């Protein structure tokens, strides 16, 4: 079905970006407004570290001066598109819907930047933004940027200590926040105690906390603590005609700092450059989404606290002059699993972006896809050209299922597109592109260049500037189709980090040292097939080692997901005296009334085992299966916390059912960990000492 050496325009564009970076990237830079045009696209150099090590470094668009805010807002108003929609705020949790035009947004940002300047924010400062999914959060970020400050978005709803850790990491003088967040159907969460707790925990003390008051839970402002009401400052500034012009910064000045989501280790402050960020995102939204400019409507069901949401809820659509849906709600439960389809119909969304976990949740609540059929049958989904998935691997069954829905209900030729991302690199590393020629020509119609083929299970082909290789543990390239470590050649593309916030040593140690200093370790394992499609199979720490065979959790999960009753499967290693490790499955069934027993009935166990054996091989035979709902812990950005389940299992195998496990502060629902613990306890009680006898703790299980 797939031809060797299959080539697409995307490949040509990619090749051009690597072979001729000067011309390629200067052309991209020229699509934006520069206060001072860069001298060139890239300058290579060497960084000498205190430890005596050195490595290749680079600068994108040296000599250039740019304002991201100007490009994302003013530029469109200047071009006469002030009346175009910029933000559709849709908040089922507050029963609010509001459309904000580019002209409205400009006024809001100008006034907000005006009062921030009066509160002491200036070029080069760091402003910390701790906000829920409300328009003021976008204003906050753009206004800080307008003054030439760097922003650091901390996911709203992080605990006090997690916030405190980030306050100490970036030392902001000003925190912009809101009086509360609203997480689904739960009561409003007042942010006051969280922010106070965060500041108490931190050694660094910010001078100002500016609070956007929400009626659901107002904050009692204490001026003595440096607290101010956002609305008071805004109306006062507006009445006095205080507004701020866009202040440009150097291309290489940091636009923002984002902390990685922490499925592994302590969060790291990823720093993004101003010039490269704007140019790279402006290109990737056009190429990947086929949103060449005004007229598109993007709905990214993420959160601006995560890199993906920061880029595709806010920055990319605004840089392109498109409309974006800012959704304060959940895929299910606000009020039900029809939310995404309603939004597509209501705002004529052209691109939907979400994590596969959202689709799994929708499937769990709507196993017969009644809602998508309801909206699809009446033509409500015809505007949709692409469904983009990222954040974790999408199992092929989910891709195939949704591609069929798109074929039936969406715009002709609409595609499900998996794309591989990380906080560190800031734009899709691989994707299939709806408009591969966008880097050169924004007028050719999309249909003239079909995207690379849909290969369920692959995250697509390399995007411009990404030099992707797969190497073994010694750094030697492996053959096409062979699993290995996925690495990126230097220089990384414009959106990517060049270091960690004030920590060049950790950047080197964490990303470059492992493969000799000249390749970036992505931390992901996978392979590139003979046609150049990249298959991202697992984080390196999600690789199972069964009798010295490296198996990916994703491949086994894929086999489980092909069972019609399985809504979600999660596979982790359980230590085994004989084989080192065995795959162990946690499954949630797609049934309205989930069975309460932790042990699936025998027929289901056999079917799952059969699917794993036929889909992956007998080597991957499951060491056990637990069924249950609400027991698979996730990060708030939708990544499965396999490490936590692995730790619980390893402890249980030692008879330590109550032992503490390390749960990262990014966990979405900490209760899931306790549900899993109880399920594991029940499983071991029923299955008796069998596991205890064969399982011994391996050092890895302690990680």
User: Residue numbers of the site for ligand AMP (CB under 6 A)?
Assistant: 260-261, 307, 390-393, 418-423, 459, 522-524, 536, 539, 637
Closest approach of Cβ 430 to ligand AMP, in Å? 8
Both tokens of 15, joined, read 């090749």
Closer CB to ligand AMP, 419 or 588, in the complex: 419
Closest approach of Cβ 445 to ligand AMP, in Å? 27
Could you tell me which residues come within 8 angstroms of residue 419 by beta carbon, excluding any fewer than 6 positions away?
288, 388, 389, 390, 428, 429, 430, 431, 432, 459, 460
Closest approach of Cβ 653 to ligand AMP, in Å? 26
Closer CB to ligand AMP, 227 or 395, in the complex: 395
Report which secondary-structure segment, H or E, holds 475. Answer: none
Closest approach of Cβ 423 to ligand AMP, in Å? 3
Closest approach of Cβ 284 to ligand AMP, in Å? 14
Closest approach of Cβ 403 to ligand AMP, in Å? 15
Closest approach of Cβ 523 to ligand AMP, in Å? 6
CA end-to-end distance (rounded Å), the chain = 42
Phi-psi region of 532 (alpha: psi -120 to 50; beta: other; left: phi over 0): left
Closest approach of Cβ 354 to ligand AMP, in Å? 12
Both tokens of 171, joined, read 């030392």
Cβ atoms within 10 A of the Cβ of 39, count?
A: 12
φ, ψ for residue 209 (rounded to 5)? -125, 120
Closer CB to ligand AMP, 76 or 539, in the complex: 539
Contact 263/643 with Cβ under 8 angstroms? Answer: yes
Closest approach of Cβ 541 to ligand AMP, in Å? 10
Q: What is the sign, positive or negative, of the torsion defined by CA atoms of 7, 10, 13, 14? A: negative
Closest approach of Cβ 289 to ligand AMP, in Å? 15
Could you tell me which residues come within 8 angstroms of residue 210 by beta carbon, excluding any fewer than 6 positions away?
116, 119, 174, 175, 176, 177, 227, 228, 229, 230, 233
Q: What is the side-by-side strand order in the sheet with 269-273?
A: 227-229, 208-212, 174-178, 126-130, 150-153, 254-259, 269-273
Closer CB to ligand AMP, 67 or 637, in the complex: 637
Max Cα–Cα distance, the chain, nearest Å? 76
Checking DSSP bridges between strand 430-431 and strand 461-462, what pairing results, if any? antiparallel
Looking at the DSSP assignment, which residues form a beta bridge with residue 343? none
Contact 296/322 with Cβ under 8 angstroms? Answer: yes
Closer CB to ligand AMP, 253 or 418, in the complex: 418
Closer CB to ligand AMP, 250 or 308, in the complex: 308
Half-sphere exposure of residue 357, counting CA atoms within 13 Å on the CB side? 18
Closer CB to ligand AMP, 303 or 524, in the complex: 524
Closest approach of Cβ 418 to ligand AMP, in Å? 5
Closer CB to ligand AMP, 164 or 523, in the complex: 523
Q: What is the sign, positive or negative, of the torsion defined by CA atoms of 327, 332, 335, 337? A: positive
The burial class, CB within 10 Å (0-12 / 13-18 / 19+), for 57 is: middle
Closer CB to ligand AMP, 67 or 394, in the complex: 394
Closest approach of Cβ 535 to ligand AMP, in Å? 9
Q: How many residues does the chain have?
A: 703
Closer CB to ligand AMP, 403 or 423, in the complex: 423
Helix (H, G, I), strand (E, B) or coil at 626: strand
Closer CB to ligand AMP, 64 or 356, in the complex: 356
Angle at 334 between CA 328 and CA 340, to 5 degrees: 75
Closer CB to ligand AMP, 133 or 552, in the complex: 552
């Amino acid at each position: 079905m797939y031809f060797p050496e299959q080539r697409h325009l995307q490949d040509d564009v990619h090749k051009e970006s690597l072979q001729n970076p000067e011309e390629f990237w200067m052309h991209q830079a020229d699509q934006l407004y520069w206060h001072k045009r860069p001298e060139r696209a890239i300058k290579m150099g060497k960084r000498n570290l205190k430890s005596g090590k050195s490595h290749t470094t680079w600068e994108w668009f040296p000599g250039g001066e740019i304002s991201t805010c100007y490009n994302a807002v003013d530029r469109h108003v200047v071009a006469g598109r002030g009346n175009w929609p910029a933000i559709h705020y849709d908040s089922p949790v507050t029963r609010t819907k509001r459309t904000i035009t580019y002209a409205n947004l400009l006024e809001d940002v100008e006034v907000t930047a005006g009062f921030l300047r009066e509160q002491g924010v200036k070029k080069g400062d760091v402003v910390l933004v701790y906000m829920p999914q409300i328009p003021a959060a976008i204003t906050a970020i753009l206004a800080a940027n307008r003054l030439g400050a760097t922003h650091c978005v901390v996911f709203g709803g992080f605990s006090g200590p997690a916030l405190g850790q980030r306050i100490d990491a970036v030392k902001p003088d000003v925190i912009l926040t809101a009086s509360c967040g609203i997480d689904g159907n739960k009561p409003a969460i007042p942010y006051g105690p969280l922010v106070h707790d965060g500041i108490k925990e931190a050694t660094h003390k910010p001078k100002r906390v500016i609070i956007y008051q929400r009626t659901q839970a107002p904050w009692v402002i204490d001026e003595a603590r440096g607290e101010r009401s956002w609305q008071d400052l805004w109306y006062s500034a507006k009445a006095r005609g205080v507004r701020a012009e866009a202040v440009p910064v150097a291309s290489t000045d940091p636009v923002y700092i984002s902390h990685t989501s922490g499925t592994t280790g302590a969060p790291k402050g990823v720093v993004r450059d101003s010039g490269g960020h704007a140019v790279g995102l402006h290109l990737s939204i056009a190429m990947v989404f086929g949103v060449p400019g005004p007229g598109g409507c993007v709905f990214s069901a993420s959160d601006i606290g995560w890199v993906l949401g920061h880029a595709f809820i806010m920055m990319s659509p605004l840089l392109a002059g498109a409309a974006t849906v800012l959704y304060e709600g959940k895929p299910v439960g606000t009020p039900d699993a029809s939310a995404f389809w309603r939004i597509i119909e209501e705002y004529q969304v052209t691109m939907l972006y979400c994590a596969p976990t959202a689709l799994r949740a929708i499937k769990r609540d709507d196993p017969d896809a009644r809602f998508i059929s309801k909206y699809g049958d009446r033509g409500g989904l015809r505007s949709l050209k692409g469904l983009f998935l990222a954040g974790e691997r999408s199992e092929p069954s989910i891709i195939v299922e949704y591609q069929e829905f798109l074929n039936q209900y969406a715009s002709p030729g609409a595609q499900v597109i998996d794309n591989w991302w990380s906080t560190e690199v800031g734009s899709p590393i691989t994707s299939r592109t709806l408009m591969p020629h966008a880097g050169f020509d924004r007028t050719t119609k999309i249909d003239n260049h079909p995207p690379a083929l849909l290969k369920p299970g692959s995250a697509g082909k390399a995007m411009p500037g990404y030099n992707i290789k797969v190497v073994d543990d010694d750094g030697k390239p492996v053959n096409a189709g062979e699993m290995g470590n996925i690495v990126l050649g230097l220089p990384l593309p414009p959106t990517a980090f060049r270091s960690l916030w004030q920590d060049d040593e950790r950047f080197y140690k964490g990303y470059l040292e492992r493969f000799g200093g000249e390749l970036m370790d992505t931390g992901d394992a996978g392979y590139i097939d003979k046609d150049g499609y990249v298959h991202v199979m697992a984080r390196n720490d999600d690789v199972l080692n069964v009798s010295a065979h490296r198996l990916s959790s994703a491949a086994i999960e894929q086999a489980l997901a092909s069972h019609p009753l399985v809504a979600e499967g999660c596979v982790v290693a359980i230590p085994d005296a004989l084989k080192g490790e065995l795959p162990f499955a946690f499954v949630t069934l797609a049934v309205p009334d989930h069975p309460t027993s932790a042990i699936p009935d025998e027929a289901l166990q056999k079917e799952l085992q059969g699917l794993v054996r036929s889909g992956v091989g007998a080597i991957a035979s499951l060491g056990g299966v637990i069924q249950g709902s609400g027991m698979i812990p996730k990060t708030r950005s939708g990544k499965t916390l396999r490490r936590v389940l692995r730790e619980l299992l390893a402890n249980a195998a030692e008879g330590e059912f109550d032992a503490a496990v390390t749960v990262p502060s990014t966990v979405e629902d900490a209760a899931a960990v306790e549900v899993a613990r109880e399920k594991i306890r029940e499983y071991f009680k029923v299955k008796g000492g069998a596991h205890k006898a064969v399982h011994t703790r391996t050092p890895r299980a302690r990680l």
